[in-house]
Amino acid sequence: MELYNEKELDRLNPYQKEAVLDESPACIVNANVGSGKTTVLISKVQYLHHVKKVNYEEMTVLTFTNKAADEIKSRLLAAEPELPVEKLRGFGTFHSTALYYLREYLPVEKLGYTRDFLVIDPEEELELALDLIRQHKLKIKYKNRLKKRLESAMAVRGEEKKVSKYQDDIFDLVRLLREEKASQDKMTFFDLLENANLLLREEIGNSPSPKWVIVDEVQDSDSQQLVFLDRLVSRGANLFAVGDPNQVIYSWRGSAFQIFYTLKHKYRAKELTLPINYRSSSSILEAARCFLQNGSPLTGVREPGNKIIVKRQYDAFQDACYLAGRIKKLHREGTPYGEMAVFYRLQSQSGMFEDVFSREGIPFEVSLKRTVGDVPVLRWCIRLLRFSLNKKDTPSGIYVLASREYGEGISEKKAKEIVCNSKPGASLLFDKMCGFSRICEELGDEEALFSYFELERYLNPVSASYMEDRDAVHRLFQIMFDYVKEQQENREAGMRAFINSSSLYGLDVLREEISEEKDSVKLMTLHASKGLEFSCVFITGVNYGLIPLKTRDMDGEEEERRLFFVGITRAKDRLELSYYTNPGERAMPGESRYIRMIPPRLLEGEEERGPAVSLQELKRQVQEQRTQVQERSLQEQKRSLQEQERSLQEQKRSLQEQKRSLREQEPAPTKRVRHPRYGTGVVVREDETMLEAEFEGYGTKEFIKAFSELEYI
DNA sequence: GCCCTGCCTCTTTTT
DNA sequence: GAGGCAGGGC
């Protein structure tokens, strides 16, 4: 094994180094965008291993996405090629780690499961729920929103009174569903964490207790994940968590802005910061600072770079055409397509760009994940394997037999009868599924599996999609056999693990190219952009009503701002914003005030701009700052309170300064204004935000100063 | 099964 | 501010 090179540490800046070397039992690192968060995390792991002699098996590294987990693992393996992958089994998403614990250590029998349980996707749980409603004649309101209703009902735990808001049987359904899932040996993503938390609560000898728990993007944790974390920490694990409160964009999913501070308080954690951003040019960074909420220092090291370009477009189509030309130009000048990305607020906005870009011959990729479940034939095959591996999974058996497209096309009623009464001889396919365990180990290759189930017959050879379907199934089986070989377990256990991981990771079987680094422009929502970086970023539709999206409350509004912050901080060298004068239904015409919040000297647009921030906006910001301080003072220690107070003072001072400079710009008592449409007029009334002027031929008009195109003469 | 009223939600998405 | 659903009255 290679020795951990001390020089590794010297490559880090002092802040990063401090975080890696920190010895406190709990440490929370407040990492700014682009400050080398992942580098610190990986360095920490290596440092613990090589210097502190903590085995990799004694660490649990938790991430939210598979992508992040894969990145950490591959970077560790790149630094240490001889490291056996099995040692990193505790490195993964919260869910995959919970799955690992449940399978290997925790007494799942206590909850009515066997060690061979399978993971199912939310879709299947919904089917199960609908079935139970029918069976037990439950009264459930808003069935079309059952998925959401189940989610919120399942989140109600313990002694809270379980009375439905709509006075229906939703809680009975939750209970029945839990029993049904246990009896069919199935767990959903939710159950994985829930059950792991339940079993980890009791002291059990043979259960996992890692020495170190390391968490990436801790600000995204929901309550289940926080409990999971707590279970591990209360067993004596040290905690090292990295995150950025300015990047909380998933609170609608259960994470909360103040989690960072709650954690710090709860574990009396030491708080460190990584302030230096290496990613973006200083202009981009300065613009980003306008959207920071907690006054944390965000320091850059790069040159000013290009100005931020703001473009006014008639509509999305015009914008797409303009962008196509712009992207081609940048490409000619040497920026690879893969270094450019277009962000938008809503999934539905991607269509226009896809159309125009494919017409213009620009290679692009839309970040939308397709999984096995999205392809009917693969869905059917997975369920065929499910029932073959788990006879308790009767719904899968029925699904396979009663499918209209594939299999024997038996009526649902008959299928139910065959599967539930386990009638041999009634269906060839059913007998094959039942007999699968016996011959499973003897199957030579994926071809043998294909012919065992006589799939050339059951995949409906007369259908138009037969060839496509057959290839997809072959590919699925191929991937499965490769996976099983890697696992070094017996065939049946390996296949079970494969099916679990395919629901957990969403195998992208259909993807033609395996190479991730295709040179193509990436199209995605602002949410999907988190964690990525590009040389050149285009954010489109920066209209009020879209960015920020019209929100219900103040919290939503703040989240919109963080979302925009995440978007602009993805850009390394170029940031270009556009807005529409004629947007669709949802948005309002004209630029979003987010554009006005960026100092004009950073911008390069085709028109002159008014004051960067309206007084109203500044006032609102200070107000927000004030309420934030109040909220946090409940949780935070005195010291940080004072810090906040100081930053508030600074904000106030800068507000006063800006007010003063605004006032200086204001005219002497003459008060005449020019308007592009109404010509020159005389100011009748004026206060901090509003202005009333009389124009010859038009009468008196009222304007909001910051948004009107008035000019003092 | 139709019409009316009231109520609810809508967007973002990972596992 | 629309559109979908539940439930009551008919």
Provide the 3-class DSSP secondary structure of residue A605. Answer: strand
**Binding-site residue ranges of A for ATP:** 31-38
Question: A138 CA to C8 C1', in Å?
Answer: 20
- Average pLDDT over chain A reads 80
Q: Which nucleotides of C are covered by protein (CB under 7 A)?
A: 4-7
Q: What is the mean pLDDT of residues A459-466?
A: 81
Question: A178 CA to C7 C1', in Å?
Answer: 30
**What does the pLDDT read at residue A342?**
94
Greatest distance between any 2 Cα atoms in chain A: 99
Listed in sequence order, the DSSP H helices in A82-188 are 94-104, 122-136, 146-155, 170-183
A95 touches strand B (CB under 7 A): yes
Q: What is the mean pLDDT of residues A66-92?
A: 87
**What does the pLDDT read at residue A159?**
55
Per-residue pLDDT tens digits for A352-367:
888 899 888 888 888 7
What CA–CA distance (Å, rounded) separates A203 from A597? Answer: 54
Looking up tokens 């196509």, which residue turns up? A324
CATH of domain A6-106+194-277: 3.40.50.300
**What does the pLDDT read at residue A42?**
92
A570 touches strand B (CB under 7 A): no
More confident residue, A498 or A340: A340
Q: How confident is the model at residue A660 (pLDDT cuts 50, 70, 90)?
A: low
Cβ-based neighbour number of residue A329 at 10 Å:
10
A484 CB-near residues (< 8 Å, 6+ apart):
A491, A494, A495, A497, A498
Which 588-647 positions of A have CB less than 7 A from strand B?
A: none
Per-residue pLDDT tens digits for A602-617:
888 654 444 344 444 4
Task: Locate the domains of chain A by residue range.
Answer: 6-106+194-277, 118-184, 282-370+516-612, 372-391+427-505, 618-665, 672-712
**What does the pLDDT read at residue A637?**
41
A106 CB-near residues (< 8 Å, 6+ apart):
A195, A196, A199, A200, A204, A207
Q: How confident is the model at residue A702 (pLDDT cuts 50, 70, 90)?
A: low
A427 CB-near residues (< 8 Å, 6+ apart):
A401, A408, A410, A415, A418
Q: What is the mean pLDDT of residues A198-204?
A: 79
Q: How confident is the model at residue A238 (pLDDT cuts 50, 70, 90)?
A: very high
Provide the 3-class DSSP secondary structure of residue A452. Answer: helix
Q: What are the beta bridge partners of residue A31?
A: A274
Question: A331 CA to C5 C1', in Å?
Answer: 51
CATH of domain A282-370+516-612: 3.40.50.300
A551 touches strand B (CB under 7 A): yes
* Of the candidate ranges A50-59, A148-157, A297-306, A560-569, the one whose mean pLDDT is the lowest: A148-157
Per-residue pLDDT tens digits for A102-126:
988 888 999 999 988 988 888 888 8
- Are A574 and A536 in contact by the 8 Å Cβ rule? The answer is yes
What CA–CA distance (Å, rounded) separates A52 from A73? Answer: 20
A370 touches strand B (CB under 7 A): no
Q: A711-712 and A672-675: which strand pairing?
A: antiparallel
Question: Residues contacting strand C at CB < 7 A?
Answer: A 139, 141-144, 166, 168
What CA–CA distance (Å, rounded) separates A558 from A327? Answer: 32
What CA–CA distance (Å, rounded) separates A508 from A373? Answer: 10
> Which tokens belong to A382?
């997975």
The dihedral formed by the CA atoms of A527, A533, A537 and A542, expressed in degrees to the nearest 10:
30
Per-residue pLDDT tens digits for A574-590:
999 998 888 776 677 87
Question: Closest nucleotide (CA of A344 to C1')?
Answer: B12
**Binding-site residue ranges of A:** 31-38
Q: What are the beta bridge partners of residue A344?
A: A525
Q: A238-243 and A91-93: which strand pairing?
A: unpaired
Q: What is the mean pLDDT of residues A192-213?
A: 82
> Which tokens belong to A587?
């948005």
In 3D space, the residue among A446, A450, A424 whose CA is nearest the CA of residue A435 turns out to be: A424
